Structure 1
Amino acid sequence: MPSSLSSKPVRVLMDATAIPANLGGVGRYVDDLVPELEAQGVELTMAVQERDAEHFATRLPSARIIPISPRFESRPMRFAWEQTGLPSLIRKVRPDVLHSPHYTCPQFPGVPVVITLHDATFFSHPQAHSRTKQKFFTFAIRRAIRRAAALVVPSEATRDETIKYAGGDPSQFYVAYHGVDRSIFHPVDDAERARVKKSLGLDGQEYIGFLGTLEPRKNVPNLVRGWTQAVSDLPNPPALVLAGGKGWDEDIDPALAAVPSHLTVLRPGYLPLEDLPGFLSGCLVLAYPSIAEGFGLPVLEAMSCGAATLTTRLTSLPEVGGDAVDYCDITPESIADALTTLMNDPQRRARLGQAAIARSEEFTWERAAEVHAQAFRAAAGL
C-alpha cells in the first residue's frame, strides 16, 4: 500500500495564485495534478485568483476553493499578498502543510512548506534568461532550499543541478515526473491532421514541427539552420513550423533571414489546445534540440501523439525520451544529419512513433500525485 494511503488524510493548502491567466506554464502542472491528489489521501484547499475560482471549483468539487481579491492579480501585488495575506489564510485554514507550486513562499508561513522547483537553468544556463529573471529565481531557489521541509522537482536532472549550484540535502527532494493528459494528447486520424495542416496554410505540404517558447535555451536558431541544410536541395522540401510563444531570442530573426526564399517557415504563435494533437501527430518529425530543460513537456506530449521525436541528451531530456526518440547534438550540422536520417526512413519514423506512445504511458499524473503526497506527509511528519 502506498504510504500516501497508509494513514489519515493530510490537509494541504495550495497557493495557486501564481497561475497565469491562460493556465500556461505552472498552470498546466497544477491543473493536471490536483484532480489526482484526493485519491492519494490529500484533503486540498486551494487559494486561487478570482478569475480561476470557477474553473477549479468545477474541476475539484470536493476541494475548498478560496479566491483572493482581484487587486492582487498583478505580480508585485501577488507577492505582497503572499507575504501578508497568505500567512493570515494559513492561520484560518490550519493545514498540515502549505504547498507552493512555483518557487516562492511566505517568510513566516507558520506551517511546514513544500515547494515545487521546476527548473535549475537559472544557475546552469544564466544566459538563457533575462538578468532580472535569473537573479530573482536564483534567490528564490536558494531561499526555498532553506525554508522548505520538502522540495518537489520534475526530474533527476533538476534535482542534481539544484544541489550542485544551490545546495540542499538530497533527502529533501522528491522527483515527480510530469504526466500527460491522454484525453488530449493522443494520435489522431488523417482527417484531423489534414484539418490542422490546412489551418496552418500547409495543405499538401509536409512539415517539421517545433513546439515551445522561442527562447534562447530552446536552440531554435540552430534548428532553423539545421533544417535549412537538410531540406534545401530536396525537390519538395518540408516546411518548418515553429509553434509557441514569441519569447525573446534575438538570434532567431537573423537565422530566419538567411533561409532561402524557396523554403517555408511558419511562426503561428500559440496553437489552440485542440489543434496540438493534429499538429504533433501530423509532423514528419517533432524537433526539439533544447540546450536545457527542467522536464521537457513538449517532448512528452509529442511522444503521446505518436510523433517521431528528435531531441538532445542534455539535462532532463533523456529521462523523458528514453529509447523512444532520436537524439542529436545542439549544432546545425548534427540537427541536419538527424533530420535527414529520419526524413529518409519512414519505417524508422513509424517505429519511433509506436515506441514513443508506449514510453509516454509510463508518465502519469497519478504517479506524480503519489510522489507529491509522500512529500506532503514527510513535511507534515505524518
Structure 2
Amino acid sequence: MSNRKPSAPAKPITVAIDASFLSLPASGIGSYVSGLTTALIRQQDDLGLDIRLITPKPGRILHPGHKLHRFLWDSFGITPATLRQVGKPDVLHLPQMSAPIITPAPMVVTIHDVIPLVLEDYRASRAMRTYLDLMKRTSARARLIIAPSQAARTDIAKVMGIDLERIVAIPEAADPTLAPDTTGEAASIVAEKWGLTGPYLFNIGGYDRRKNLPLTIAAFAGALPGLPEDAKLVIGGAPHSENEHIFPPLAPVIRQYGLDDRVILIGRISDADRRALYQAATVYITASEYEGFGLTPLEAMACGVPAIVANRTSLPEVVGDAGLVVEPTVDDLAAAMVTLLTDTNLHTDLARRSLERAGEFTWYAAAIATAEVYHRASRM
C-alpha cells in the first residue's frame, strides 16, 4: 500500500462516517472504525478532509445494540437531517454493508467479506437473507466500495456482479498497541490465569464452522508425538449461538482424541488478556477456510509470534513469507505445528519476519488510501 498522500484541494471535502460501532462492545468492525477514524482525524488537514463522525444519541430507541435496532439504525438512523447536522457532507462512508433508505450524499461502503454469498451454510436464516438483500441494495447505490484484501475484492466483484474498477482493496492493520512483550509480564499472566508455563499454539479467530477448529484439534492430536511434552493448544472465544451446525461443539472432539489436558478452551477474554495470550504464545494458528482479511494472524505477528495459516482467500496475502502457509488438512497442519515448535532457528527467523511484515500494515497507510477513495467518490 502506498504511503503517498493525495494532493489536498484548496477546500477540504467533508466526509461523514457512520461511527455507531464505537458505542458497541468490541468487534472486528468496531476495531476497523476506531483504527481508521483515529488515523483519518490525525491527518485530515494534510489529506484535504473534514471528518465528521455520526453516532446514535444516548438512550435513543434506534441505538444499534440490538439486532432489530441495528437494522433500524442501518435503514433509518442516518437521515438527510442527520447529515445536515454534520455539515452536509460531500461523502458518506458506511463501514459495513448497510445503507440508509434515503441518502443525499455520495456513498462509500466497506464490504469486509461476502461469506454469506460464498458459503451456503451462512445464508439459511431469514435474517441473513434480509441482510443479503441489504447488501445488494447498498452495493448498487455506493459510488465506490472498499475491500480489505485483493481476495475479498475479487470475490465481491464475482459474486455481486460489481465492476472491479468500483472496488478498492485497502488492507487493515493491527491495534498499534500490540507489540512483543520484553518484560516477561505476559508469560506471568498466562501462567497465573491458565497454568500455561510451556509452549502453546494460540487461536482466537472464532468458533464458526469455516474456522475449522475441529480440524485444528485433530491436527494437534496428530502432531503430539513430535511436539514438546508440555505443548498445548489454546483456543479463545465462544460460539455466538447454540446453532451446532454453524458452531460445531469442540468438547466432543477434544474428548474423542483424549486431549482434555492439552487443549484449553478459555472462553471470552478481555483485551488485556488477549494481548498477553498473543505475546506469550509460541505460534498462532488458523485453518480458516474463508477470511475477508485475516486480522488475528496479523495481531499475533505484531507481537512477534509467527503464524500457521490455511492457504485460503486473504490469509496468504496477510502472512506473506513471514509464516507457514499450508493446506488445511490434518497432515499438513500437524507437520507445520511440529516444524515451528521444534525448529528453533526457523521459529526465530519467522518471528523476526513477522514483526517486519506486520509493520507494513498501518492505519496511517490505510487512511491515506481511504482519503483517495473519498476524493475520487466526491468527483464522480
The residue that corresponds to 1:198 in the other structure is 191
The residue that corresponds to 1:75 in the other structure is 67
Note the 1:47-66 alignment, pairs <5 A. Answer: 47-50=54-57
Query: What SS is found at the alignment partner of 1:185?
Result: coil
Q: Over aligned residues, Cα RMSD in angstroms?
A: 2.2
**Is 1:155 the equivalent of 2:153?**
no
Distance across 1 between alignment mates of 2:77 and 2:226: 61
Higher alpha-carbon deviation: 155-164 or 371-380: 371-380
**Is 1:32 the equivalent of 2:57?**
no
1:172 to 163, 166, 172: 166
1:41 to 28, 37, 48: 48
Distance across 1 between alignment mates of 2:368 and 2:311: 27
Structure 1: give runs of 5+ residues left out of the alignment. Answer: 52-67
Q: Aligned in 2, Cα 1:20/1:346: closer, same or farther, shift over 3 Å?
A: farther
Counterpart amino acid of 1:212?
G
Once the two structures are TM-superposed, the CA of residue 29 in structure 1 deviates from its matched residue by 0.5
Query: What SS is found at the alignment partner of 2:184?
Result: helix
Higher alpha-carbon deviation: 35-44 or 250-259: 250-259
Deviations 1:16-45 (A, max 9, x none): 224562131211100111111131232121
Given the two structures, how large is their TM-score scaled by the length of structure 2?
Answer: 0.89
Counterpart amino acid of 1:2?
K
Distance across 2 between alignment mates of 1:191 and 1:370: 36
Q: Is the 8 A contact 2:179 2:302 kept in 1?
A: yes
Once the two structures are TM-superposed, the CA of residue 80 in structure 1 deviates from its matched residue by 2.6
Q: Aligned in 2, Cα 1:257/1:49: closer, same or farther, shift over 3 Å?
A: farther
Counterpart amino acid of 1:313?
N
Q: Aligned in 2, Cα 1:146/1:351: closer, same or farther, shift over 3 Å?
A: same
Once the two structures are TM-superposed, the CA of residue 306 in structure 1 deviates from its matched residue by 0.6
Q: Aligned in 2, Cα 1:156/1:137: closer, same or farther, shift over 3 Å?
A: farther
Q: Detail structure 1 runs of 4+ shifted over 6 Å in the superposition.
A: none
**Is 1:356 the equivalent of 2:359?**
no
Distance across 2 between alignment mates of 1:130 and 1:25: 23
Once the two structures are TM-superposed, the CA of residue 268 in structure 1 deviates from its matched residue by 1.2
The residue that corresponds to 1:271 in the other structure is 269
**Is 1:86 the equivalent of 2:89?**
no
Once the two structures are TM-superposed, the CA of residue 92 in structure 1 deviates from its matched residue by 3.7
Once the two structures are TM-superposed, the CA of residue 318 in structure 1 deviates from its matched residue by 1.0
Query: What SS is found at the alignment partner of 1:5?
Result: coil
Q: Aligned in 2, Cα 1:28/1:171: closer, same or farther, shift over 3 Å?
A: same
Counterpart amino acid of 2:167?
F
The residue that corresponds to 2:243 in the other structure is none
1:121 to 112, 115, 123: 115
Once the two structures are TM-superposed, the CA of residue 78 in structure 1 deviates from its matched residue by 3.9
Distance across 2 between alignment mates of 1:81 and 1:355: 43
1:138 to 107, 119, 132: 132
Provide the identity percentage.
27
Counterpart amino acid of 2:232?
A
Distance across 2 between alignment mates of 1:330 and 1:139: 32
**Is 1:252 the equivalent of 2:244?**
no
Distance across 2 between alignment mates of 1:196 and 1:202: 9
Q: Is the 8 A contact 1:112 1:148 kept in 2?
A: yes
Q: Is the 8 A contact 2:146 2:169 kept in 1?
A: yes
Q: Aligned in 2, Cα 1:232/1:145: closer, same or farther, shift over 3 Å?
A: same
Q: Aligned in 2, Cα 1:128/1:106: closer, same or farther, shift over 3 Å?
A: closer
Distance across 1 between alignment mates of 2:96 and 2:311: 26
Distance across 1 between alignment mates of 2:347 and 2:123: 34
Once the two structures are TM-superposed, the CA of residue 347 in structure 1 deviates from its matched residue by 1.2
Counterpart amino acid of 2:67?
R
Structure 2: give runs of 5+ residues left out of the alignment. Answer: 241-245
Higher alpha-carbon deviation: 361-370 or 138-147: 138-147
Q: Aligned in 2, Cα 1:20/1:316: closer, same or farther, shift over 3 Å?
A: farther
